[in-house]
Amino acid sequence: MTLRTYPEFSTNYNLLLKTLMKRPVDIYPNEIGLVYRNPNTGEYFRLTWQHWYERTCQLANALKEKLGLHPGKPRQPGDRIATMALNHHRHMELYYAVPGCGAVLHPVNIRLSQDHIVHTIRHSQDKIIFVDDISWPLLEGIHERIKDTVEKFVYMSDKPGLPQTKIEPVFEYETLLQEQSSEFEWPNLHEDTFATLCYTTGTTGLPKGVMFTHRQLYLQTLHVIAWNFFITDPARVNFGENEVWMAITPLYHVHGWGAPFLNVFSANKLILPGTFTVEGFCELVQTEKVTSTSVVPTVLAMIVEYKDIHKYDLSSLKNLGVGGGALPLGLKKKAEKIIPGFKARSGYGMTETAPAAIRAFVKKTMVDWPEEKLDEIRVKTGLAVPGVEVMIVDEQGNPVPRDNETVGEILIRGPWVMEQYYNEPEKTAEVWRDGWFHTGDVAKVDEEGYATIADRMSDMIRSGAEMVPTVLLENLTATAEFVLEATYVGVPDEKWGQRPMAIVTLVPGAKENEKDIIHFLETEGVEKGKITKWMLPDYILITKTIPKTSVGKFDKITIKKQLDDLLPRAKKVREL
C-alpha cells in the first residue's frame, strides 16, 4: 500500500492572504462588512462579506482572463499591479485579488511629488494601473512619462462609463467585473510568494521599494491580533469581532497600517471614508458608531481644532492609535478632553516593518498606577510588538542603559521586517548590518524598558558638542494648552554650529506669543528637569501652517529648504 500524505495541507500548509479573506465570508456572509462613503457625493455603499468576496473573485477572474496577469513564485515576483486610489471597497478588492492570484500589489502613494510617483511606477515596472476617478487627473499628468512601462489602465468610479482621454488601453472596472464569474479557485501559492510592494516616502532621497510575502503579512496580522487580545490597559476597550474600524490611514501608505488584513480576518466592520476630512470623520463616527481608528498626530490635531466637533455624537469612539510621529502628551489630553470616553496611545513602525514594530501599552504590573502616570506610559513609543526583537544601541553597538536619558539607534528584526530593498542592494547593505535592521531613528529607554523616540538621526540638532533631540522639544511644546502643533529644526549659528528654532501653530483663538512659549518651556521644561536650558530655542516662528509630508509628518526637508524665508520671520527670543 502506497501511503499518500498531504503536507501542503497540514504540516507545510502555506500562510496565504486568501485565508484571511475567507474567514468572515464563511462565518458572517450576510453581515455588512464594508461601508464606503464617497467623500464628494456623500453616497454610501454597503457590502456584505459575501458580496465583497464575490466581487473580489470577479476581479481575480478579470485579472487572469482579461488582463493577462502573470503570477510569481518565491524570489521571482509576479506582475506588479499598481493602484492610484483612495480608501474604498474597490481598493480593498484589489488588496486581495492581486496577491491572491500570485501577483504583486503596488499601492502608489498619490500624495508624493509627480517625480517620485513616476519613479516608483518605473522602478517597480508596473504592468497595469488601477486608477479611481479622483486620481485620474494625476494619471493624465504623468502618462507620457510612464506609457512605455505600463501596458494597461483600469478606470474605477461610482458612475458608469469611461472618461474622455487619450490614454489607452483603458478598461472600466465595473464592466470587467460584470463579465466574470463570481467564483474563483484561489491557487495554493507558496507562502514566500511576494504579495505587496510598498515604497518609502522619500524623506531622505528617492523612495525605496519594499516587497512583502504572504507569509510576512499573515504573521504580522496574527501577532497584532495576539497583542490586541492580551493587552492589559484598563482604558482600552476590547470589542472583539464587534469592533467597527475606520480606515483613515490611506491604503497606499504601508498597507493602511494593516487595516485591510487585520479587520478582514477579525470580521470587524470596516468603514472606508475615501479620504479624510474632519467633518467626514465626525459624520461617519456618529452614523456608523465607529469604535476604533488610527491616525497621525497632525490628523488628531485637525480633529482637536475643528470648531463644530461638539455638534456630533462621538461617544462610540473608544480606541485611537497614533503613529507616523510621536504623540505629544499635550495633544493627547486636549483630544480626550474634547471627546470624553476614549483613549489615545502611541505606536511606531515604518515601511520596512510593514509597519508593526513597537507599541505603547500598560503592563499588568501598572494597572493600579494613577491615571496621569499611565498616560505618560501611553505616549511613549513603547515596547516591541510580539514576535519582533528591538534593541537600542550606542555608536559602538552596545545596548544603551535604561536611564531614560542615553540615546541610541533603534535596531529591529523579526518575521515581517523587510529582507531587502527592491533592486537596491547598496541601500540594503546600509541598513542591514550584524543581523539587525538599522532604522536610523534615535530613542532612549526607561527603567521599565519602554522606548521613547528622540529623533531621526538626520534631524538631531548639533549644537556645539551636544545633540538636541527635536522630538523631545516638540512633545514638550505641544503640552502647552495654547499650542496646537510644534516642530523644531536647527538653524546655522557661527558659535555653536546649530541652534534650535521652534515653528509653532496655536489653537484657534489663542492670543499667546513667543514670550509665552519660552516662558512655558522654562517653567514646565527646564525647572522641572525635562530639558536643559541650552536646549531652549533661540528662535520661535508662530505660523498658521507647518509643512507636512504625504503621510502627515512634519516635512523637515522642506522646512530646511525654506529656512532663508522662515528664519527672517521668526522672533529671536534668547541667545547663548
- Residue 253's pLDDT band (cuts 50, 70, 90): very high
Q: What pLDDT is recorded for position 203?
A: 59
CATH topology of domain 466-572: GMP Synthetase; Chain A, domain 3 (3.30.300)
Domain-wise residue ranges, the chain: 49-213, 466-572
Number of helices (H), then strands (E), belonging to the chain: the values are 17, 27
Mean pLDDT of 92-112: 96
Average pLDDT of the residues of the chain: 93
Q: What pLDDT is recorded for position 554?
A: 86
Q: What pLDDT is recorded for position 557?
A: 82
Q: Supply the pTM of this predicted model.
A: 0.86
Residue type, 360: A
Range 80-89 burial, b when 16+ CB lie within 10 A, else e: bbbbbbbbbb
Mean pLDDT of 549-555: 80
Is the pLDDT at 272 greater than 60, yes or no?
A: yes
Comparing 528 with 504, the larger pLDDT belongs to: 504
- Coil, strand or helix at 399: strand
DSSP 249-307: S-TTSGGGGGHHHHHHHTT-EEEE-BS--HHHHHHHHHHHT--EEEE-HHHHHHHHH-T
Q: What pLDDT is recorded for position 530?
A: 81
List CB contacts of 158: < 8 A, sequence separation 6 or more: 38, 41, 43, 45, 133
User: Per residue in 343-402, pLDDT tens?
Assistant: 999 999 999 999 999 999 999 999 999 999 999 999 999 999 999 999 999 989 999 999
Q: Within 13 Å and on the Cβ side, how many CA atoms surround 37?
A: 20
- Percent of the chain residues topping a pLDDT of 90: 78
Phi, psi angle pair for 87, to nearest 5°: -85, 100
CA distance 461 to 469: 7
- Least confident window among 17-31, 171-185, 401-415, 540-554: 540-554
CATH topology of domain 49-213: Rossmann fold (3.40.50)
Is the pLDDT at 158 greater than 80, yes or no?
A: yes
- Least confident window among 60-69, 213-222, 252-261, 484-493: 484-493
Q: What pLDDT is recorded for position 325?
A: 77
